[in-house]
Structure formats: structure tokens, C-alpha cells
Amino acid sequence: MLPHLRKLNPTTLALLAFILAAGVMFSVAYSAALVIEQRTEKAVTARLHAEKIDWITVTTEGLQVRLTGTAPNEAARFRAVNKVGEVIDSSRIRDRLDVAPTTGIEAPKFSVEMLRTEDEVQLSGLIPETPGDGGMSEEDLAAAAAALAQGSELPDMLETADYPAPAHWNEALAFGLKALERLQLSKVSVSADRVEVKAIADSEEQKRQLERDLRAIAPEEVRLVLDISAPRPVITPFTLRFVVDAEGARFDSCSADTERARGQILRAAAAAGVEGSPVCQLGLGTPTPRWAEAVALAMTAVKELGSGSITFSDADVTLLAGSEVPQATFDKVVGDLETGLPDVFSLTSTLEKKETATEGPAEFTAVLAEDGRVELRGRLTDEMQRQAVDAFARSAFAGAEVRTATRVDETLPDGWPVRVLAGLKALAEVEHGRLLVRADLVEVTGVTGSKEARGRITQILSEELGQGETFRVNVRYDEALDPIASLPTPEECAANVNAVIARTKITFTPSSAEIATTARPVLDELAAILSNCPPMQMEIGGHTDSQGSEGGNQALSQARAEAVLLALQGRRVDVSGMTALGYGEAQPIADNQTEEGREANRRIEFVLKGSTVASVEADSTETAPGAEGGVAPAPAEDAAASGPDFSGDTSPSVAPTEKTMAPKPRPEGLKAEE
């Protein structure tokens, strides 16, 4: 024992030993508490992190665990406390959590879906309970739909909500109902800012007319999305007629059931001497999947004859050989054709006889003049037929002046009335022309503005006259009479767009995507062109020079392309097939080291997808419109510091390839003017 401690009495020594022991115990207890707090905090935090609860702060004080933070809702708070209770005893948890205040209930999204079939109209969706001034209530909408259903039961699955109608809701709903009135087989989906129309048209002509009508009456504030299809028609009878005569090889009518079959038929036609691009209609109703095989074999037979025609009407096949064909050749060709045709087909073959100098045969003629007058002359079997033919002609040529100057001949052959009425029905398909009916021939000549008219005439005569009967169709197509031909093709539309933008540039305000007011006339002109174009796929591409950051250039080019797209949409152009895409500085067409090159690179391009169209480059020599926006273009040496100079005009053009959405870079050293 130390000497100075020996002087202390035992009582003092005992007290000192007790104090020392208490200090040691306190240190041990304090250290143990710290370890427990750290482990508890770590375990609780890990569990919250695993449950993706990141809005809680965990603190420990002894055995107590305090939770602070703001829960998104009461359910989230309750869940979080329960998850912590799975780690520690719930009595140790001190809940100091707040709950975010409840937000107001948002108005529902109003929408209506209207489905119309041949028999009924169905309504479903959610509409405002109080539509407001000029709006349509649930009862009004149901009544309008019931009128279209024509007395049939109306499935009404509409619901209402007591919220005010959103902006443009009433205009969109009224337009949707007008669209439903025009489309018998359709589904019209209406929301406040969008009306989507899906429908089936009877023909391609009707489809185009419906698209024009709907775009014309669509509200400017509502986006219209059209999806109108024209399915393949059912062709009855399924008809094809191939002719080889002094005028060459041609189709009077051509039908195919698949793209593959049409390709096989057109290849056989080319081998048989047909020139150009003949029309072969796709349709439903073929009597056999081997239709194309049979047609190709028959066309080869007619080519071998050198003169004649082959007519398919469903499975009935009629071969007529010209009078100049030798009998031996006729017999050989007919034998080969009968052997090669699939079993489903029935062949009737005839070799025309050479005309002899005898008295002219009995005839009936009808002339449809260009001024609309119809003259009927020739022979008919009796007075009853004369009256029937006159009435039929007035019905077939509605509104025309019909003059009947026929005579009665009771010696006419059997089937004469059928031949006359069939010929008149066929003549009604042309704009003007002539019908000739004989005992051995029915011939229709004329001019038409429809590419399908020759096929319809062939179909009528083939069906009405029957197998083995001889007829001729000499109908010429005149594009000037075709209302569809007057519509520009997508390629012509692209060329017209190029002509405008090559003459006048689109201007943006400096360093922004806002189109300048001076560019409104050119946008109006572009809208007028595109509004008269058929539906097409087109890309509006934005491009910049290389000044400034790559990311900034790309973003601004995208914004400017979208601005042009929105400007056209605001002018009621159908933009459903258009897309906006920014390319930034990635596709230059000129040297970015010169002001002229940078001006040329700042551009907008219209790219017609799927077509090869020549590109029209922007006129890079035109003065940059810095003065128009009140800001002159920055000098080249300052451009890097101040960002790219976007004050210049951008001029759309149409890029030249299907896959590449922009022109190829200009070769180095070539000036922009070149």
C-alpha cells in the first residue's frame, strides 16, 4: 500500500473504493447504452429503407426510438409505425409523425364512347351532370342517339358527375355526335380536347369524302384523330376478262383475292403483252384459291391464239377466239386449257365465224350523248318490251332526256330482252358512249372518269348474259372526268410544299422556338396546300448549326419542329400522320465555319416517308432576319460565348430518301450557293 494511503483510516479507504467502482460501472453502462442506440437506429433505418419509406427520420434516446417526418396520408403513417414495431418492441416507439393535409378532390376526366352499328347505337362513359350554356345533357345525348338507332333499343351506359364541364367539352361532344350521324359503322370517342373517330367506309372514294367533311366541321380547339378504313369489297361474280386484238393485249376487268395472286396475274399479263400498269382489284369472293393459277393459264392460251378473249365469271370460263385463228390452233389451245384448268372451272369455247356478205343482222342501239341525252333505236320483240325498255332507260339514266325510236320485230331470237336490258345497265356506267346489241354480240363503247368502270361493265355483262355469250367492252378512261384524279398525290403535295418554302422562309424570333409574325403568310400557304392533300406520313425535322452546346441545339431544334407542327394543326391541317423530330447540329448541309453555311444549316425539313422526293435547299443567300426581330446576328467570333445564332430563317424541304430523314451532308469545299 502506498505510504500516503496508509495514513487514511479504513472508513475513508472504503469510501474511495466505492466511488471508484461506481465510476467504472457508469462508464460501462453508458457505453452499452450507446451501442444499443446505434444498433437500434441502424436496424430500424434498414427496415424502413427496405420498405421504401424515405420520409421518416429515426433518432434514439436510450431505449426509446423517435420517428419524425410527414406521412403522405394516414394509411402510410400507420404502415410505417407497424414496420418499426416488427423490429423493436412497440412500447419503445415514440410516434412524432405528421400527416400531409388532404387535398381537394380532383374533377373526374369526362369522356364518352359512342358505338354505331347497322342495328343500334351504344353510349357509355361519364359526362357532366350540368353541361352549362349550349351544352348537351344526358337526356339530350340519349335522345339524339335514339334518333340514329331508328326505334331499336338503345343501350345507355352513361354516368354523370356533379362537376362543371371542362373547357371545349360541349364543342367536342357536339362534333362527335355530328361525326356519328355521318358514319353508319363507327366508334367515336370524345374527350374535352380530343375526338377519335374509327369507322368503315364503303369505298376509297367515300373514305376520302368523309375525311374531308369531318375535318371541315371539326372545332379548332379539339384535336381530331381519324382512322377510316375501306375494306376489300365483295366481288359478285368474281370477274376477270383478258383480251388480245388489233389494239394489243389488255384487261377489260381484273380481280384477285390476295396480293400474291394479283402479282402472279400481273406477271402473266406482262408476259402476254400487257403494257403499263394495269389495274387489278383486290376483293373477296373468289371461287377457289387456285384463281390466279387458272387466270395465268388462260391468258397464256389467249396469247397463243393471237386474237380472242377469255372471261372468268366465278367458275364459268368463256373463251372466244378471233375469226382469223386457224381451226387446228384453236383445237390445240382449247385442249391444253381444258386439261390445265382446275376441276372447279367450266370452260366454254367458241371460234368466231368469218362474216359473209348477207343482209345486216337485227340490232338495237342506245347512244348516251355528252349533253346527257339518250336515244334508243333498233328492234324490240313487242310493245310491252318497248315500254319496259323506255322505263328502264329513264331509271338508269336519271335526269336524262330519253328519246325512244324503236320498232317491233316478233322474229327476234330468244333472250333478246335480257341482252338489251343488260346492255343498258352497262352503258349507264360510262359518261357518254354507245350500246350495240345483236344476236351474237353485245358491245359497249364509251368514255368514263372511273378506272373501275370497265371492270363493272364486264361484271354486269358476264353475270347478266351468262356463260358462253359474246360481248365486247371498248371503254376509255379519261382522267379529266375523274374527280379522284384531281386530288394531288403525296409526292405532288411534297413538291408543292417545296415550291412554297423555296420561295419564302419561315422565321423564328431570335434564340427561341416562337414563330415570328412575319412567317404567318407562308404557314397559311402551306396549310392551304396540305389541307387538300390525301392522308400521308410526313416528318417535320428541325436542324441547327454547330454553335453552342450539342444538347441545347438538339432541344431547340425539337422545339422549333414542334412549333411548326402545332402551327399547322392550328390551321386545321390533319397532322395525325405527321411527327416532329429535332436533329440539332448532327446533319449539316453546309460548312459551319462560315456565316452562310451556318445560315443554311439552320433549317426545317418536311420529309415524306416512304417516297423518294428531291430535296429543296433553303436559300442561304437570303439576309438573316435579325433586323426583323430587333436583334442583329452576332459576329462569328462571339458566337461561342453567347450561344448559337438561331435568329436566322428556317426553310423546310423534303428529304430524298425513305430511311434517311434528312439530306446528306454537303461535300467539303462546296459553297452554299452551289
653 within a domain of the structure (yes/no): no
> Are 494 and 631 in a shared domain?
yes
| pLDDT band, residue 28 (cuts 50/70/90) | low
Cell of 507: 422565321
Identify the weakest region by mean pLDDT among 1-5, 83-87, 313-317, 492-496.
1-5
> Are 81 and 184 in a shared domain?
no
561 within a domain of the structure (yes/no): yes
Sheet strands (E) in 18-120: 56-61, 64-71, 93-99, 111-116
Q: What count of Cα atoms within 13 Å lies in the side-chain half-sphere of residue 24?
A: 6
How many degrees, rounded to 5, is the angle at CA 36 between CA 32 and CA 39? 135
Q: Which CATH number is 163's domain given?
A: 3.40.1520.20
Report pLDDT for 30. 59
Residues 23 and 365: their CA atoms lie apart, in Å, by: 133
Which has more confidence, 644 or 263?
Answer: 263
Query: Can you tell me the mean pLDDT for 287-313?
Result: 94
Which has more confidence, 468 or 225?
Answer: 225
282 within a domain of the structure (yes/no): yes
pLDDT of 337 over the 90 cut: yes
Quote the radius of gyration of the chain (alpha carbons, Å): 42
| pLDDT band, residue 248 (cuts 50/70/90) | very high
Cα separations (Å) of 505 from 622, 625, 626?
9, 10, 13
Report pLDDT for 154. 66
Identify the weakest region by mean pLDDT among 13-22, 526-535, 544-553, 652-661.
652-661
Model pTM score: 0.47
Report pLDDT for 670. 36
Closest by CA position to 217, among listed 169, 172, 170, 167: 172
pLDDT of 643 over the 70 cut: no
Residues 634 and 163: their CA atoms lie apart, in Å, by: 53
| pLDDT band, residue 612 (cuts 50/70/90) | very low
Report pLDDT for 622. 34
Which has more confidence, 632 or 148?
Answer: 148
> Are 188 and 267 in a shared domain?
no
**Mean pLDDT estimate for the chain:** 81
Local structure of 435: helix, strand or coil: strand
Report pLDDT for 436. 95
| pLDDT band, residue 614 (cuts 50/70/90) | very low
> Are 177 and 129 in a shared domain?
yes
Which of 326, 351, 376 is the last residue before a domain boundary? 351
> Are 495 and 635 in a shared domain?
yes
What is residue 602's DSSP assignment? S
Q: Which CATH number is 561's domain given?
A: 3.30.1330.60
Span 430-448, pLDDT tens digits: 999 999 999 889 999 999 9
pLDDT of 450 over the 90 cut: no
> Are 78 and 214 in a shared domain?
no
Residues 541 and 477: their CA atoms lie apart, in Å, by: 40
Looking at the structure of the chain, the number of domains it has is 5
| pLDDT band, residue 344 (cuts 50/70/90) | very high
> Are 222 and 259 in a shared domain?
no
> Are 386 and 526 in a shared domain?
no
Report pLDDT for 307. 94
Q: Which residues form the domain of 371?
A: 364-481
Q: Report whether 241 contacts 458 (CB < 8 A).
A: yes
pLDDT of 508 over the 60 cut: yes
Give bridge partners of residue 159 from the DSSP assignment.
126
234 within a domain of the structure (yes/no): no
pLDDT of 160 over the 90 cut: no
Report pLDDT for 82. 86
| pLDDT band, residue 667 (cuts 50/70/90) | very low
356 within a domain of the structure (yes/no): no
pLDDT of 664 over the 50 cut: no
> Are 499 and 602 in a shared domain?
yes
Query: Can you tell me the mean pLDDT for 289-318?
Result: 94
Pairing of strands 186-191, 156-164: unpaired
562 Cβ neighbours under 8 A, 6+ residues apart: 513, 580
Report pLDDT for 33. 63
The pLDDT > 90 percentage for the chain reads 28
What is residue 506's DSSP assignment? B
| pLDDT band, residue 511 (cuts 50/70/90) | confident
388 Cβ neighbours under 8 A, 6+ residues apart: 417, 421
pLDDT of 412 over the 80 cut: yes
Report pLDDT for 625. 34
* Residues counted in the chain: 674
Residues 540 and 526: their CA atoms lie apart, in Å, by: 13
> Are 56 and 120 in a shared domain?
no
167 within a domain of the structure (yes/no): yes
Q: What per-residue string of b and e applies to 513-547 under the rule 16 or more CB within 10 Å gives b? A: bebbebbeebbebbbebbeebbebebbbbbbbbbb
658 within a domain of the structure (yes/no): no
What is residue 351's DSSP assignment? E
216 within a domain of the structure (yes/no): yes
Which of 66, 99, 132 is the last residue before a domain boundary? 99
How many degrees, rounded to 5, is the angle at CA 26 between CA 22 and CA 27? 120
> Are 301 and 388 in a shared domain?
no
Residues 61 and 408: their CA atoms lie apart, in Å, by: 122
Span 109-130, pLDDT tens digits: 889 998 888 778 888 888 888 7
Cα separations (Å) of 578 from 251, 541, 572, 614, 659?
38, 10, 13, 19, 16
Query: Can you tell me the mean pLDDT for 528-534?
Result: 85
Residues 461 and 444: their CA atoms lie apart, in Å, by: 10
> Are 533 and 560 in a shared domain?
yes
pLDDT of 619 over the 80 cut: no
Span 345-363, pLDDT tens digits: 999 999 987 755 444 678 9
Report pLDDT for 661. 35
Give bridge partners of residue 404 from the DSSP assignment.
376
Span 381-411, pLDDT tens digits: 988 998 999 999 999 998 889 998 888 888 8
341 Cβ neighbours under 8 A, 6+ residues apart: 294, 297, 298, 317, 347
Report pLDDT for 152. 60
Q: Hey, what amino acid is at 13? A: L
Report pLDDT for 644. 39
* Dihedral sign from CA coordinates of 402, 407, 410, 415: negative
Map 393-424 to HEC letters: HHHHCCCCCEEEEEEECCCCCCCHHHHHHHHH
Report pLDDT for 13. 66
Q: Hey, what amino acid is at 110? A: F
Give bridge partners of residue 607 from the DSSP assignment.
539
Cα separations (Å) of 272 from 248, 267, 275, 290, 297?
10, 9, 9, 19, 11
| pLDDT band, residue 640 (cuts 50/70/90) | very low
Residues 76 and 118: their CA atoms lie apart, in Å, by: 52
